[in-house]
Amino acid sequence: MMAKSDIPMIPYLKKGEFKLKEQNQLFCGENTEVLSGMPDNLVDLIYIDPPFFSQRNYELIWGDEAEIRSFEDRWDGGIQVYIDWMRDRILHLHRVLKPTGSIYLHCDWHASHYLKVMLDEIFGPRNFLNEIIWHYTGGGRSKTTFSRKHDTIFLYSKSDSHTFNTDAIRVPYKDTSGYAKTGIVAKSGKRYMPNPEGTLMDDVWDIPIINPMAKERTGYPTQKPEKLLERIIKASSNEGDIILDAFCGCGTALVVAQKLNRRWLGIDISPSAIVLVSSRLGKIEALGPGIEISGLPGTMRELQRMTPYDFQYWAINRMLGAPSPRKSGDMGIDGLSCLNNYPIQVKQNSAGRNVVDNFAQALRRHYQNSKRPVAGFIVALDFTKGAKEEVVRTRNKDKIYIELINIEDVLTGKFNTTQKIVDDDDQTTILSTTQKVNMRKV
């Protein structure tokens, strides 16, 4: 298995430049832009779990990735704006789907009826196959209505000839089934016995939501269980087929496709999501030459277009650090460096004297019960003269050791975490780690 730092990286995908390769491919970017570069009739199966028009604003915490950002599912302008936004994407997905392919669109009660009409318009009513009900339990119960405990998954084909593997998704007969025990005898006298692999699936699926303690749980607010995606992928694809998830989020569809020996293409607009997906794939030894990632920031201009939390998450991961598990109330510390766990603060713009002074206060709080040297890193676009002077003052007067890191040096790999901050009085090494930033680090 190759390390994450060995994953091949390529620039942002440009329209019309997509080429299907032997590697599985992960794209960071707007899915319409990525899809527009793909040829017709490319993929065998599409699964999408787009925003649900729920008008919610999720606070997102990503498990051991320890990252928080705002996960928005809000739509100004109402349902028609949402449906028009979805239609643009479904038209692209219809075009790249093979004639023998199928698409599963995962949604809920907020917009399912509108989406069904739109899917009929694009795929045609004849190619509607199923309205699958994913039933689950857990959470609160309503006292004024029947509790809403299901999602809807629409299944459409592109033609009359589509892949569907019934035997691959059989389930055990119920314990109360007489047929499962003795079979049945027809009027003709012929006896029909149960299939040893189980009964055929219907369109109501009872699959539990992810247990809070489950190993597969990432903390992503809309994460779906692997068992759900396993059933979908087994039913509508074969080994070696190409699976596409254009809203891949935390990557469940891609992880399951990898485990089932399918090829896959994943798209998400969030750099943090792409990092999370690559981490999950790394845990099942799917990285290295078997995956290519494109669209992650490669220039300063691209970095400046990122959201503050995506930028923060990118910078700390690029330094091989661990982001803070808190979005607010983090005491001015955005993450910790590798190995020695020195605090890191990230600024997307220029940092002045006040930034250094505030970070020094944060370091005092962080180390108040520790005998370790008070030290940390500030990463920013650039630093004013006042910021540099304040670093010298806090070192000489207060014995607080702060290293200023230019974000361009992190981007290009010039920043080396083996660099040391040394106490000028006794030549003691204060800041030192043993890893170098790799330019291809996700």
Q: Which residue has the tokens 């992503």?
A: 220
Q: How far apart are CA 31 and CA 269, in angstroms?
A: 7
Instruction: Out of 18-22, 311-315, 426-430, give the one with best mean pLDDT.
Output: 311-315
184 belongs to a structural domain: yes
pLDDT at 215 over 50: yes
Choose one of 296, 331, 355: the last residue of a domain.
296
Count of CB atoms within 10 A of residue 439's CB?
14
Count of CB atoms within 10 A of residue 81's CB?
12
3-state class (DSSP) for residue 178: helix
The 374-380 sheet, strands edge to edge: 322-323, 335-336, 343-346, 374-380, 400-406
- Residue 369, both tokens: 């019960």
Q: How far apart are CA 276 and CA 254, in angstroms?
A: 12
Question: For the segment 155-186, what is each residue's pLDDT rounded down to a tens digit?
Answer: 999 999 999 999 999 999 888 787 877 888 88
Query: What is the per-residue DSSP string for 107-143?
Result: E-TTTHHHHHHHHHHHH-GGGEEEEEEEE---S---S
CB burial of residue 277 (10 Å; 0-12, 13-18, 19+): buried
Average pLDDT rounded to a whole number, residues 189-208: 91
Q: How far apart are CA 154 and CA 388, in angstroms?
A: 58
- Kindly state whether residues 233 and 355 are assigned to the same domain: no
- Kindly state whether residues 291 and 313 are assigned to the same domain: no
Quote the number of domains for the chain: 2
List b or e across 348-357, with b for residues whose CB sees 16 or more CB atoms inside 10 angstroms. beebbbebbe
437 belongs to a structural domain: no
Share of the chain above pLDDT 70, in %: 81
Closest CA to 242 of 93, 421, 74, 414: 93
pLDDT on residue 435: 39
Cβ atoms 326, 343 nearer than 8 A: no
- Kindly state whether residues 78 and 223 are assigned to the same domain: yes
Question: For the segment 25-35, what is each residue's pLDDT rounded down to a tens digit?
Answer: 999 888 998 99
- Kindly state whether residues 181 and 305 are assigned to the same domain: no
Residue 148 lies in domain: 4-296
- Kindly state whether residues 284 and 305 are assigned to the same domain: no
Cβ atoms 375, 421 nearer than 8 A: yes
- Residue 404, both tokens: 């200023």
Stated as kind and residue range, the H or E segment containing 73 is strand 68-73
Domain of 76, CATH number, reads: 3.40.50.150
Q: At what angle do helices 112-123 and 79-96 cross, to 10 degrees?
A: 40
237 belongs to a structural domain: yes
Instruction: Out of 45-54, 79-88, 334-343, 433-442, give the one with best mean pLDDT.
Output: 79-88
Cβ atoms 81, 75 nearer than 8 A: yes
Banded pLDDT at 305 (limits 50, 70, 90): confident
pLDDT on residue 327: 54
- Kindly state whether residues 312 and 179 are assigned to the same domain: no
Q: How far apart are CA 306 and CA 319, in angstroms?
A: 17
- Kindly state whether residues 144 and 59 are assigned to the same domain: yes
Question: For the segment 51-65, what is each residue's pLDDT rounded down to a tens digit?
Answer: 876 545 443 333 323
Q: How far apart are CA 58 and CA 37, in angstroms?
A: 31
Q: How far apart are CA 11 and CA 243, in angstroms?
A: 23
- Kindly state whether residues 327 and 276 are assigned to the same domain: no
Query: What is the per-residue DSSP string for 47-63?
Result: EE----S--EEEEEE-G
Domain of 326, CATH number, reads: 3.40.1350.10
Q: How far apart are CA 371 and CA 153, in angstroms?
A: 56
pLDDT on residue 181: 77
Longest C-alpha distance within the chain, in Å?
A: 100
pLDDT at 264 over 60: yes
11 belongs to a structural domain: yes
pTM of the predicted structure, to 2 decimals: 0.75
Mean pLDDT of the chain: 82
Question: For the segment 381-438, what is each residue's pLDDT rounded down to a tens digit?
Answer: 999 999 999 999 999 999 999 999 999 988 887 775 544 554 545 545 555 443 343 3
Choose one of 296, 328, 358: the last residue of a domain.
296
Choose one of 237, 266, 296: the last residue of a domain.
296
pLDDT on residue 324: 74
440 belongs to a structural domain: no
Q: What angle do CA 226, 286, 18 make, to 5 degrees?
A: 95
pLDDT on residue 325: 61
